[in-house]
Amino acid sequence: MLAAVYRSAGDSSALRVEQVETPRPGPGEVRVRVAVSGVNPTDWKVLERSGPQRGEFAVPNQDGAGVIDAVGPGVARERLGERVWLLMAAHNNRWGTAAEYCVVPSERAVTLPDRAPFELGASLGVPALTAWHCLCIGGCPSGDAVLVSGGAGAVGRAAIELARHMGAERVISTVSGPEKARIALAAGADAAINYRDADAAAQILDVAPTGVNRFVEVALHQNIALNLQVAAPHAVIAAYAADPQTLATLPVRDLMVANISLRFMLLYTVKPRHLQEAIEGISAALRAGALSTPPLHRFALAQVAQAHDAVRNGAVGKVIIDL
């Protein structure tokens, strides 16, 4: 099969497209003929920080969508031909989705409804599961006012759609400019507010006069002051992104007085039962038609390095690789 591979840690120049042996599924595994591979920031970060963990090479990319074409021992043959979306394909596994085929544990290949395009399936995984977990820490946000920072990003856009699906009373997004505001509003936000505006807090409170109950936070170290200006008592701030060197200065007394909860999450270390809850939640949202395909930047497999660079350079919208 044709696959993107890397043999050592590095930037996108470490990626090569080569013919490699098509993998076979082992016990409890399925093989998926990949239609679309999704690229996330985690993919270039893994490439940069670590070489292959198993074997002489590894295939990158956690997310994707396609059709199951082979099953290993212990997996029902009824899964053959099933349309699926993939999650954490390259986590503790050499076969990521940037290839014509990938092999994953059966539970990491989740049914994709017929009406959902592969492009949408490849846009779930890391972004949608992260968004679901942030929204539902301590209970899902029915009736809440939700503030999503970076609503034009993959996680932020998914959080807006999921918050709407879960019955949030108000969904507000902070953005950095008009193009990103249009994406957040198209996803269903009631308002998209430039966080750089001097009156950003006042604009948020105009939309949510009693304050924000739940925050999906991409940059806690930058946004904590704004968040506390608009937080309702007992609000939950869920932070999901940071570089290794990121430090946040926290006004502890202010957090105490309002009984604010700060929560942190990384998808790869979420408890299995919570991950399963998120998978089930995303699947229910898909069946309800609550999730839509984001704006796309399309690349061929031969352009895998350019695709990784596009994500690293902050492309607005979802970067995908067509197989």
Query: pLDDT tens across 62-105, in order?
Result: 999 999 999 999 999 999 999 999 999 999 999 999 999 999 99
Shared domain check, 107 and 96: yes
Shared domain check, 55 and 177: no
d(CA 18, CA 160): 39
Q: What does pLDDT average to over the chain? A: 96
Shared domain check, 131 and 119: no
**198, part of any domain:** yes
Residue written as tokens 């074997």?
A: 55
Shared domain check, 259 and 137: yes
Whole-prediction pTM value? 0.95
Domain hosting 263: range is: 126-268
CB environment 295-304: b (16+ within 10 A), e (fewer) = ebbebebebb
pLDDT value of position 50: 82
**164, part of any domain:** yes
pLDDT value of position 54: 64
Q: Which of 131, 66, 76, 130 is nearest to 103 (CA)?
A: 66
CATH number for the domain that contains residue 6 = 3.90.180.10
**280, part of any domain:** no
d(CA 270, CA 163): 20
pLDDT beyond 90 at 236: yes
Query: pLDDT tens across 190-204, in order?
Result: 999 999 999 999 999
Sheet holding 191-194, edge to edge: 191-194, 170-175, 145-149, 212-217, 231-239, 261-264
Query: pLDDT tens across 272-293, in order?
Result: 999 999 999 999 999 999 999 9
Shared domain check, 312 and 209: no
> Which of 235, 253, 268 finishes a domain?
268
Shared domain check, 131 and 105: no
Query: pLDDT tens across 111-145, in order?
Result: 999 999 999 999 999 999 999 999 998 788 899 99
d(CA 112, CA 114): 6
Shared domain check, 236 and 305: no
The number of domains in the chain is: 2
**201, part of any domain:** yes
**281, part of any domain:** no
∠ CA 173-125-169, nearest 5°, is 30
Shared domain check, 192 and 315: no
**275, part of any domain:** no
**83, part of any domain:** yes
Please count the other Cβ atoms lying within 10 Å of the Cβ belonging to residue 142: 10
pLDDT value of position 138: 79
Rg (Cα) of the chain, in Å, rounded?
20
Shared domain check, 130 and 116: no
pLDDT beyond 80 at 297: yes
d(CA 218, CA 201): 17
Shared domain check, 297 and 235: no
| Crossing angle for the helix pair 41-49 and 304-312, to the nearest 10 degrees | 100
Q: What's the rounded mean pLDDT across residues 220-235?
A: 97
Query: pLDDT tens across 245-277, in order?
Result: 999 999 999 999 999 999 999 999 999 999 999
Shared domain check, 239 and 142: yes
- Answer for the pair 35, 118: CB distance below 8 angstroms, yes or no: yes
Shared domain check, 304 and 259: no
> Three-state DSSP class for 108?
helix
**276, part of any domain:** no
pLDDT value of position 51: 73
Q: How confident is the model at residue 24 (pLDDT cuts 50, 70, 90)?
A: very high
